[in-house]
Amino acid sequence: MSTPFWSNDPTIIFNKDNIFDLWPCQQMSFEAKLNSISRLVILLSILGFLFTRNWNLIIIGLITLAIIFTIYKLRKDKIVSSLVKKEGFSNNDSLNKSTTTFNPVTLETVLRKDFYPTTKKNPFGNVLLTDIMDTPDRKSAAPSFNPDVYDEIDSSVKKQTQMLNPGIINTNKQLYGDLKDNYDLDNSMMNFYSTANTRVCNDQGAYGQYLYGSMYSGKESTPEGAMMRVKDNYRYILI
């Protein structure tokens, strides 16, 4: 996850892992560079005031922080607008006018009833080691390619962030407060996915039905069964 800007998480300024980053480096992200400059401005303003007792230094420091915040917001708005323009998002009302017949059974009902629930401890519904003993008959995870399931996974990941970071108040607002933050979240989640099998035991019955369910058997006393008995049998092939 990228370093948040101090307007989203003010504690990042005094974080013990970053408190000595007083000068921007090339390998830093844009947010980390602004945090370093802001940290240096705060330090110089406090030291200048302690030595001179001049309140103008504090005012200049606050104005400088306001300018840094403005630079951050302008850059973020530019990135967001370019992303929206690049993706070509638009509302097509003609596609919303549908004459299809709706099924009274909602997708949400099917997802809740027939699939393993998506939780903040296991957003993708993959099989955990504890499931082998605790829930050996657990259901399959919901298909993550479905838009509704995708949104639920995204929400569960945000809840997991709050669970793992109890010291941050309202991570949804602090870390995922705008479109750019959610875009970064989507990029960071590209390496994670639901595995091919999300049950403790493979559904061998369904796989066998898929392969041989409609295949006639040579044991049947039917014309189709007779054909299966001689099909691909070299004794019945005339050369």
Q: Of 69-73, 132-136, 222-226, which gets the smallest average pLDDT?
A: 222-226
User: Which one-letter amino acid corresponds to residue 131?
Assistant: D
Find how far residue 145's CA is from the centre of its chain. Answer: 12
**Cβ–Cβ under 8 Å, residues 230 and 236:** yes
Find how far residue 137's CA is from the centre of its chain. Answer: 27
Residue pLDDT, tens place only, 156-210: 999 998 899 888 888 888 888 788 888 888 888 888 988 888 888 877 777 788 7
User: Which percentage of the chain shows pLDDT scores above 70?
Assistant: 82
The residue among 220 and 67 whose pLDDT is bigger is 67
| Mean pLDDT of the chain, nearest integer | 79
pLDDT for the residue numbered 103: 58
Residue pLDDT, tens place only, 36-87: 888 888 888 999 888 888 888 889 989 998 998 898 888 877 776 666 665 5
pLDDT for the residue numbered 63: 92
